Structures are given as C-alpha cells and as structure tokens.
Amino acid sequence: MREVETRFGKVRFKVTRLGEQVMNTVPEYEDCKRVAREFNLPLKQVLQELQSLV
C-alpha cells in the first residue's frame, strides 16, 4: 500500500509487484468512495482520475 497526495487529498493505492517490478497500481476503493462522497462526484469519475495518476 502506498499513499499519494492528490487534488482530493491523500489516497491509498494498492501496489502489486513481481519481485522488484511493479505490475499494477490501483486506488483503494474505500478511499475512492470517500472522495466521491466528499466532492460530490461520480465514483467512476474519481476512479478514472486517480488511476490516471499512476
């Protein structure tokens, strides 16, 4: 898990690795739900924007 500062504040990301190589990075779903609720945005939009950061 890695925490990233975004325009929405701090959001946690799950990081999947194979050895030392990063294979996938995904924003934590619960953090995305919180952001969507706090900023009154669709969850899908929040997920897409956060995913584009990594």
Residue 53: per-residue pLDDT: 87
- 2-54 confidence digits (pLDDT tens): 999 999 999 999 999 999 998 999 999 999 999 999 999 999 999 999 999 87
What does pTM read for this prediction?
0.86
Q: Which residues contact 9 (CB under 8 A, 6 or more apart)?
A: 35
C-alpha–C-alpha distance, residues 31 and 43, integer Å: 10
Q: Which residues contact 1 (CB under 8 A, 6 or more apart)?
A: 12, 13, 14, 15, 28
Is 34 exposed, middle or buried (CB count within 10 Å of its CB: 0-12, 13-18, 19+)?
middle
Residue 52: strand, helix, or coil: coil
Residue 30: per-residue pLDDT: 97
Residue 54: per-residue pLDDT: 79
